[in-house]
Amino acid sequence: MEEKDVHDIAWRGLYANDFIHGSLEETHISWVILAKGFAFKIKKPVRLSFLDFSTLALRKKLCEKELMLNRRFSNIYLDVLPVRKVQGQWIIGGPSDMHTVDYCVVMKRMATAKRLDKLLQKNAVSVVSLKTLAADIALFHNNAQQTFRSFSIDTGSSIFNDIESVSEFARDALGIRYHEIIRESIEWSDAFLTRHQGRLQQRIDSGMQRDVHGDLHSGNIFLYTKPVLFDCIEFNDVYRQIDVLYEVAFLCMDLERFNQWQLADVFLTEYVKRFSAFQQPEDYSLFIYFKSLRANIRAKVHAEQCRQTHDTHEQQYHRDEAAKYLKLMAKYVARKLAYAHHD
């Protein structure tokens, strides 16, 4: 298979036997087949509150959109190819007279060991590499299209306050203190958004809301000499067209989740040298809020996954991760409360 290029795959096709030494990764919305030299991402035929992959036409359209959007900052995205089935045999690509049952995004396969989250687990991330990453992201943000969707306090509150949906889980699985963290953080968030809604709208008006990546965490970055970003959000423009500080807050929160507070500072310092994302002193308060919101969402995701799985080991993993993110959210809230007189 290593001798094939993407044009050969499109013409001749890859058959099930070609993947005999490959592996499969699965999320709640996609399957990714990892083969030698290539990765093939297929969207699950699902419809959720925030995305719709329910028809073949929609999946094709969103595969093409994923290819286009990710090519803004990555050269690993190669093509969109049909998935076909002939006489019980699954085929990617191949002659056009075969029946198409789905579509996949074709990417160059990268070394999993080079993924930023894997390197963070081994404490193997250098200051130099984080500075290079910050410079690349700053350049991308500088050139990203500005968007001007108005700030809605109701929408902002509902996004943060949805953590209440796992409040009972937190109390029963983690303890009463985690239940209190959720209640206290919601009260703080409501007051914060009321106080700062004017500044949030000002940042939109000044061009700080842009069409960026939308899901910029350590699992979506390969840390080669030149970093590779991948898997931006294509299925919902609202999730991708965000304040640039909300974007970098995700990565900084993620670094701090790995207890790499110094690396988070290195990244942010280098980023702001190259892109003036902080325009007023109040923006630093917004940045801490954005980090708390990112931790909030990650905590909720792990809590939901813990409730859905029946595997004991997976349950424990997601339970532990939910607790870590809730504690990190509480730390951000406490820090913001300590400096509330600066708002």
Count of the separate structural domains present in the chain: 2
Q: What percent of the chain has pLDDT over 70?
A: 92
* φ, ψ at 319 (rounded to 5°): -65, -45
Question: Would you say 174 and 326 are in contact if contact means Cβ atoms under 8 Å apart?
Answer: yes
Lookup: tokens for 286: 């917004």
Report the pLDDT value the prediction gives residue 273, as an integer from 0 to 100: 98
Residues 274, 160, single domain; the answer is: yes
In sequence order, what DSSP letters do the residues of 247-306 get, joined into one string? HHHHHHHHHHHTT-HHHHHHHHHHHHHHS----STHHHHHHHHHHHHHHHHHHHHHHHHH
Report the pLDDT value the prediction gives residue 9, as an integer from 0 to 100: 64
Q: Is residue 242 part of a domain?
A: yes
Of 109, 136, 169, which one is at a domain's C-terminal end? 109
Residues 67, 120, single domain; the answer is: no
**Residue 276 and residue 75: Cα distance in Å, rounded?**
27
Q: Is residue 80 part of a domain?
A: yes
Q: Is residue 1 part of a domain?
A: no
Say yes or no to pLDDT of 1 above 50: no
Question: Tokens 């809301």, residue?
Answer: 209
pLDDT digits (tens, 9 = 90+) for 248-306: 999 999 999 999 999 999 999 999 999 999 999 999 999 999 999 999 999 999 999 89
Report the pLDDT value the prediction gives residue 4, as an integer from 0 to 100: 60
More confident residue, 146 or 14: 146
Say yes or no to pLDDT of 125 above 70: yes
Residues 88, 179, single domain; the answer is: no
Question: Tokens 């988070």, residue?
Answer: 264
Q: Is residue 249 part of a domain?
A: yes
Q: Is residue 58 part of a domain?
A: yes
Lookup: tokens for 13: 């096709």
With cut-offs at 50, 70 and 90, classify the pLDDT of residue 77: very high
Say yes or no to pLDDT of 339 above 90: no
Q: Is residue 144 part of a domain?
A: yes
Report the pLDDT value the prediction gives residue 338, as an integer from 0 to 100: 56
Residues 191, 328, single domain; the answer is: yes
Highest averaged pLDDT of the listed ranges 22-26, 34-38, 327-331? 327-331
Residue 139: CB partners within 8 Å, gap ≥ 6?
A: 274, 275
Question: Would you say 118 and 182 are in contact if contact means Cβ atoms under 8 Å apart?
Answer: no
Query: What is the domain range of residue 42?
Result: 6-109
Residues 86, 131, single domain; the answer is: no
Provide the greatest CA pair distance for the chain: 70
Residues 127, 205, single domain; the answer is: yes
Rounded to two decimals, what is the model's pTM?
A: 0.91
* φ, ψ at 211 (rounded to 5°): -85, 100
Of 109, 129, 151, which one is at a domain's C-terminal end? 109
Query: CB 14: neighbour CB atoms within 10 A?
Result: 25
Q: What percent of the chain has pLDDT over 90?
A: 80
**Residue 312 and residue 316: Cα distance in Å, rounded?**
6
Say yes or no to pLDDT of 63 above 90: yes
Report the pLDDT value the prediction gives residue 341, as an integer from 0 to 100: 44
Of 109, 138, 157, which one is at a domain's C-terminal end? 109
Provide the 3-class DSSP secondary structure of residue 188. Answer: helix
Residues 199, 130, single domain; the answer is: yes
Say yes or no to pLDDT of 17 above 50: yes
Residues 83, 143, single domain; the answer is: no
Name residue 100's beta-bridge partners. Answer: 84
Give the residue from 41, 24, 23 showing the smallest Cα distance to 106.
41
Q: Is residue 194 part of a domain?
A: yes
Name residue 34's beta-bridge partners. Answer: 23, 39
Lowest mean pLDDT, pick from 83-87, 130-134, 243-247, 298-302 = 83-87
Query: CB 46: neighbour CB atoms within 10 A?
Result: 12
Give the residue from 298, 296, 234, 254 showing the smallest Cα distance to 30.
234
Say yes or no to pLDDT of 139 above 70: yes
| Residue count of the chain | 343
* Mean pLDDT (the chain, rounded): 92
Report the pLDDT value the prediction gives residue 79, as an integer from 0 to 100: 94
Residues 246, 202, single domain; the answer is: yes
Report the pLDDT value the prediction gives residue 7, as an integer from 0 to 100: 65
Report the pLDDT value the prediction gives residue 316, as an integer from 0 to 100: 97
What single letter denotes the amino acid at residue 3? Answer: E
Residues 22, 45, single domain; the answer is: yes
pLDDT digits (tens, 9 = 90+) for 170-179: 999 999 999 9
pLDDT digits (tens, 9 = 90+) for 210-262: 999 999 999 999 999 999 999 999 999 999 999 999 999 999 999 999 999 99
Q: What is the mean pLDDT of residues 68-77?
A: 96
Residue 29 to residues 44, 63, 276, Cα–Cα distance (Å): 5, 13, 35
Residues 281, 201, single domain; the answer is: yes
Provide the 3-class DSSP secondary structure of residue 105. Answer: strand
**Residue 306 and residue 269: Cα distance in Å, rounded?**
36
Task: Please report which residue ranges of the chain form alpha helices under DSSP H.
Answer: 6-12, 56-70, 116-121, 127-143, 153-161, 167-169, 176-205, 237-240, 244-257, 261-274, 282-308, 312-338
Residues 146, 280, single domain; the answer is: yes
Q: What is the mean pLDDT of residues 332-343?
A: 66
Q: Is residue 279 part of a domain?
A: yes
CATH number at residue 315: 3.90.1200.10
**Residue 325 and residue 340: Cα distance in Å, rounded?**
22
